[in-house]
Amino acid sequence: MPERRNILITGASSGLGAQLAREFAARGRNLALCARRLDRLEQLRAELLAAHPGITVSIAQLDVNEHARVFTVFREFAEELGGLDRVVVNAGLGKGQPIGSGRFDANAQTATTNFIAVLAQCEAAMEIFRAHDAGHLVVVSSMSALRGMPGNRTAYAASKAGAATLAEGIRADTLRTPIAVTTLFPGFIATDMTAAGGRAPLQVSTEKGVRAMVRAIERESATAKVPAWPWVPIGLALRWLPLRMVAAISG
C-alpha cells in the first residue's frame, strides 16, 4: 500500500478536520487544509509547524458550497504540494429540523452542504486522481446514514446516506484502478458541532474518535464504522431493527 504523503482535508478549522490534521501531521504527512474560517486555519498551521517542523502545511479559505472555488482550491493545492495523494471530504453541517415544521431553509442548507458540496469535492478530487491514475478518496459519512432518522436528524441522515452512496458508486467505478475509496461512518464523537446538543450516549472524545478514523483511513478500508466498538454491532442492529425501534432509540 503506497504512503499517502500529501493529504487534503476539508472542514479543517475545527472538530474532526482539525484533529485529523494533528494526527496526520504527527505521522509526518504534508497537509492541505481548507475551511471557511481562515483565522482558525492560520492558528492550526502555526501549531502543527511548531510541533512538526519537517512538514509542509498549506491553507486556503474555502466554503464548499462555492462549487467553482472547490475545484480552484484543490488544483492550487495540488500544484503547491506537487500532487495530492489523499483527499478527506470532511466538511459538513449538522443542523436540521423535523420535516414539515416550516424550516425548509435549515434542511435545504444541510442537504446542500452534506451532499451537493460533497459531490463537488469528490468531482474535484477525482479529476486530480484520474489524471495521475492514483490517489485515495475518503468520504466522511455518519452512522445516521444507515437508517432514516426522526426529528432534527431526518435531513442530516438522508444527506449522509447520499454521500455514502456517492462514495460507493465512485468505488465501483475505480475497482480495477490504483485509486482507493473509503467511506467512514463515525459514531458519536465529541466536536464543536455536537457540543450544542450535550453529551450523547456512547460518545467518545475527539482524540479517541479521530484515532479510530485515521486507523481506518490508513488501512484504506472500503468502509469503516468508527470507533469499531460499539458501532460495528450497533450498525448491524440498525440494519435489522424495526423502524419503530430505531425511531424510539434515536429520537
* Nearest-angstrom CA–CA distance, 85 and 119: 19
Cell numbers for 13: 478549522
**Among 82, 74, 188, 166, CA closest to 125:** 74
If 0-12 CB within 10 Å is exposed, 13-18 middle and 19+ buried, where does residue 241 land? middle
Q: What is the DSSP letter of 173?
A: H
User: Where are the extended beta strands (E) located within the chain?
Assistant: 6-10, 30-35, 57-61, 86-89, 135-140, 179-186, 223-226
* Nearest-angstrom CA–CA distance, 219 and 8: 17
Cell numbers for 49: 509547524
Q: Name the one residue in this structure whose C-alpha cell is 432534527.
A: 152
Please compute, for residue 17, the number of CA atoms within 13 A of its CA located in the half-sphere on the CB side: 29
- Single-letter amino acid, residue 74: F
Q: What is the DSSP letter of 183?
A: E
**Among 45, 137, 126, CA closest to 88:** 137
| Identified catalytic residue from 156, 185, 188, 231 | 156
Q: What are phi and psi of 58, to 5 degrees?
A: -100, 145
- Is 20 known to be catalytic? no
Q: Give catalytic residues, as residue numbers.
A: 156
